[in-house]
Chains A and B, each alone.
Chain A
Amino acid sequence: MLSIKDLHAEIDGKEILRGLNLEIDTGEIHAIMGPNGSGKSTLSYVLSGREGYAVTKGEILYKGKDLLKLTVEERAGEGIFLAFQYPVEIPGVTGLSFLRTALNAVKRYRGEKEVPATEFLKLAREKAEGLKMDQAMLKRFVNVGFSGGEKKRNEVLQMALLEPSLALLDETDSGLDIDALKLVSKGVNALRSPQRSALVITHYQRLLNYIVPDKIHVLAKGKIVETGGKDLALRLEEKGYSVLGLSDDETQAA
């Protein structure tokens, strides 16, 4: 599904990723943990194609295609979905109109038929119900005045509608209480399938109790420094990043 080789990326001339390697097979869920400033969010932005991030070396193959050649919207069309750490507020644009525009844009890209208005409404309601989102929220402006939990649920709702092949969850657990965390995790788990993969970026092991990954990587100073199974997360939770020889500063930054 995703193959990253020797990835170097910088922003404003500052190198953040310094030779990152990562392979995610179809159907797998991987987690990336690491202290703040290690490059976790940069990785998610580089994968989704955000402007301002320059890849100076290395390659990313996604479903065998050169990902770096695709625009942001093409990547979304190809099935990459980034759940934002800080979802953006869009005044004046209602949730329904945003979701429908997005769904139809992706359908068009994939050569599928657009969804008629009534059918879309039914679909959106169904998915929202599963996330215990109030119908009224869909009529409100996107994320405007939403609580942290509501914003994250809104991200998962978009993901459920767009049915991505590769979901990138950037600190999806931040700002969530335990009930919201369970709901969001349930939404993510519902999308698990042999055809889909996910990359879960998180600070804390907590989320990984609910979204159980196949592999866990530790990112530090722009590189993967350790890879392991579920037990690696527990070890980190218990002893901190210092067991990997990372300085306290870096752990404290989290």
Chain B
Amino acid sequence: MSNIQNLTSPIVEHYRSQLGTDSTSVLDFPNLRGRALNLLRQTLPIGKVENWKYTDLRKYFRSPFQLVCRPSPVSKEKIKPFMIADSPCVVFLDGFFFPELSVVEGLSISPVDEKVVGIVANMERPGLTALNTAVMTDGVSINVNGGKCTNIPIQILYFTTDDFEGECHTRIVLTVENECDAFLFERHISLGRAKGLINNVIEFSVGADASLQHIVLQQAGTDLHHISSRFGCLSRNAKVRGFQMVTGSALSRAETVVSLACEGGRAKFSGIALMRDRQHCDFTTDISHDAPNCHSSQVFKNVVAERARSVFQGRVYVARDAQSTEANQLNRNLLLSRQARADAKPELIIHADDVKCSHGATVGDLDEEALFYLKSRGIPADEARSLLIKGFASELFEEIANPDLASLMEETLKKWLIKGWKERVAA
């Protein structure tokens, strides 16, 4: 323990000393920040933490970056290509909310405050949620309390500006009221070179008979560390469907912690990471079945090229009273090179007796039979490989009902594949 304290003290000091300097945050809740700061010692994953076994942040925290200051706004033209027309849009630059770049008419949105932060998110969990709370850059709370706009997403766009260097810690609090439907799309983009740490937390609650669709596209700069944690809580008969695609950052972790707290909850999460070079992507999930008659399903896939590395940790917890639970989990990894690596760790903890649970993990190369089949039809080797990778990934895109987003995912995948070809041809 003392060993870890030795490690953490300078880190805690690093952050404490930056607090109170005015330009690093617009939010003022010193008590909450203080409490969170006190939790850093026990939550930062720099000692031996089982849950962070495969994703190592120790190196980063040996010399962490400074918190960033509010940047000057970029021009609207610069971010316009990333915006979906006729849909509300919340824009963050370097972790700061920029209302003048956003389109928030008709949206119930306000800055986060002490009353809403941390109701769902658990900052005692090992990870960077306490850090996010302690040094929170900015954050908004969005309330969905009417309308059935299930196919028009609320966009949240996170940009890092040119030559970003530092840390930003953004918080989103989303409340979907009873019997309402919400559709949220988050996208992470770097407008230039970017170095440092992005540490985002989103916490959502979905009311009774309400639903949330949550889609994430992470394309942050490939030198960044990108940690995102989403915490969710579902009321009676609430539904959540999530899809994530990761192509960005050097090291990323996308963590999902959801409680099916009342009867009849449905949670469906899927994700895909496309990695090359020395990229590292970690999908970690923790789904708690705390009430009877809830269903959860998870499908996470990774395409791992070159020396990249994928991690999947999927935890399902079924409480004693959570009878008639159904929980399925699948992790599939496509390793495209001998140096690529995948780690999968499913974890099922079941205290009820009437449950249907399944889990599975596969690791493999492209199917030789299928490759030969495609080539025998005249399709060149590279194109055949791409077609198979596309097939592996696009199964998940079927979940996305919005055609703009579905084609955005397909385009992103296509670009990733083409980039791979070009590099191989050049090499």
CB-CB under 8 A from A162, the residues of chain B are 377-378
Residues facing B in A88-131 (CB within 8 A) are 88-93, 97-98, 101-102, 105-106, 109
B373 CB–A CB distance under 8 Å: yes
CB-CB under 8 A from A73, the residues of chain B are 375-376, 378-381, 384
| Pick from A50, A93, A109: contact of B372, CB under 8 Å | A50
A9 CB–B CB distance under 8 Å: no
B370 CB–A CB distance under 8 Å: yes
CB-CB under 8 A from A77, the residues of chain B are 378
Contact yes or no, B373 A76, CB < 8 A: no
A91 to B387, alpha carbons, bound, how many Å? Answer: 10
Contact yes or no, A76 B376, CB < 8 A: yes
- For A, the interface residue count at a CB cutoff of 8 angstroms equals 30
B392 CB–A CB distance under 8 Å: yes
A87 CB–B CB distance under 8 Å: yes
Contact yes or no, B375 A72, CB < 8 A: yes
> Quick one: closest A residue to B375, CB to CB?
A72
Residues facing A in B341-388 (CB within 8 A) are 367-370, 372-381, 383-384, 387-388
| Pick from A50, A82, A90, A102: contact of B388, CB under 8 Å | A90
CB-CB under 8 A from A92, the residues of chain B are 388, 390-395
Contact yes or no, B376 A48, CB < 8 A: yes
Contact yes or no, B370 A90, CB < 8 A: yes
Known: A92-B394, A92-B395. A158 touches B372 (CB 8 A): no
- For B, the interface residue count at a CB cutoff of 8 angstroms equals 24
A51 CB–B CB distance under 8 Å: yes
Contact yes or no, B369 A93, CB < 8 A: no
A101 to B383, alpha carbons, bound, how many Å? Answer: 9
What's the least CB distance linking B295 to chain A, in Å?
24
CB-CB under 8 A from B372, the residues of chain A are 50-51, 72, 88
Max count, chain A CB within 10 A of own CB: residue among B367, B375, B387: B375
Q: Mark B388-402, 1 if CB is under 8 A from A, else 0.
A: 101111110000000
A71 CB–B CB distance under 8 Å: yes
A89 to B373, alpha carbons, bound, how many Å? Answer: 9
> Quick one: closest A residue to B395, CB to CB?
A92
* Chain B interface, >50% SS class: helix
> Quick one: closest B residue to A103, CB to CB?
B378
Known: A72-B372, A98-B387. A105 touches B378 (CB 8 A): yes
Contact yes or no, B378 A102, CB < 8 A: yes
Contact yes or no, A93 B378, CB < 8 A: no
| Pick from B375, B376, B381, B391: contact of A90, CB under 8 Å | B391
CB-CB under 8 A from A146, the residues of chain B are none
Contact yes or no, A102 B391, CB < 8 A: no
> Quick one: closest B residue to A88, CB to CB?
B373
Contact yes or no, A93 B387, CB < 8 A: yes
Contact yes or no, A93 B379, CB < 8 A: no
CB-CB under 8 A from A75, the residues of chain B are 376
A81 to B395, alpha carbons, bound, how many Å? Answer: 29
Contact yes or no, B373 A93, CB < 8 A: no
What's the least CB distance linking B418 to chain A, in Å?
15
CB-CB under 8 A from A141, the residues of chain B are 391
A159 to B383, alpha carbons, bound, how many Å? Answer: 20
A141 to B395, alpha carbons, bound, how many Å? Answer: 10
A48 to B380, alpha carbons, bound, how many Å? Answer: 14
A204 CB–B CB distance under 8 Å: no
A84 CB–B CB distance under 8 Å: yes
Known: A93-B390, A101-B387. A88 touches B375 (CB 8 A): no
CB-CB under 8 A from A98, the residues of chain B are 374, 377, 387
Max count, chain B CB within 10 A of own CB: residue among A77, A88, A92, A162: A92
A38 to B155, alpha carbons, bound, how many Å? Answer: 63
| Pick from B378, B388, B391: contact of A106, CB under 8 Å | B378
A75 to B376, alpha carbons, bound, how many Å? Answer: 8
Contact yes or no, A105 B390, CB < 8 A: no
CB-CB under 8 A from B375, the residues of chain A are 71-73, 76
CB-CB under 8 A from B384, the residues of chain A are 73
A48 to B374, alpha carbons, bound, how many Å? Answer: 12
Contact yes or no, B379 A101, CB < 8 A: yes
CB-CB under 8 A from A82, the residues of chain B are 376
A87 to B369, alpha carbons, bound, how many Å? Answer: 9
A101 to B414, alpha carbons, bound, how many Å? Answer: 14
A91 to B396, alpha carbons, bound, how many Å? Answer: 12
A84 to B369, alpha carbons, bound, how many Å? Answer: 11
Q: Mark A7-22, 1 if CB is under 8 A from B, else 0.
A: 0000000000000000
Residues facing B in A60-91 (CB within 8 A) are 71-73, 75-77, 81-82, 84, 87-91
CB-CB under 8 A from A50, the residues of chain B are 372, 376
> Quick one: closest B residue to A72, CB to CB?
B375
| Pick from B373, B378, B388: contact of A87, CB under 8 Å | B373
A88 to B371, alpha carbons, bound, how many Å? Answer: 10
Can you list 23 pairs linking A and B with CB atoms under 8 Å apart? A48-B376, A50-B376, A51-B372, A75-B376, A81-B376, A82-B376, A88-B367, A90-B374, A90-B387, A90-B388, A91-B391, A91-B392, A92-B388, A92-B391, A92-B392, A92-B394, A92-B395, A93-B387, A101-B379, A101-B387, A102-B379, A105-B378, A158-B377
Q: Which residues of B contact A (CB under 8 A)?
A: 367-370, 372-381, 383-384, 387-388, 390-395
Q: Which residues of A contact B (CB under 8 A)?
A: 48-51, 71-73, 75-77, 81-82, 84, 87-93, 97-98, 101-102, 105-106, 109, 141, 158, 162
Top 7 closest A-B pairs, CB basis? A92-B391, A76-B378, A102-B377, A106-B378, A93-B391, A72-B375, A88-B373
Give me 17 other A-B pairs in contact (C-beta within 8 A), A88-B372, A93-B388 excluded. Answer: A50-B376, A51-B368, A72-B372, A73-B380, A75-B376, A76-B378, A81-B376, A81-B377, A84-B376, A87-B373, A88-B370, A92-B391, A102-B378, A105-B378, A105-B383, A109-B378, A141-B391
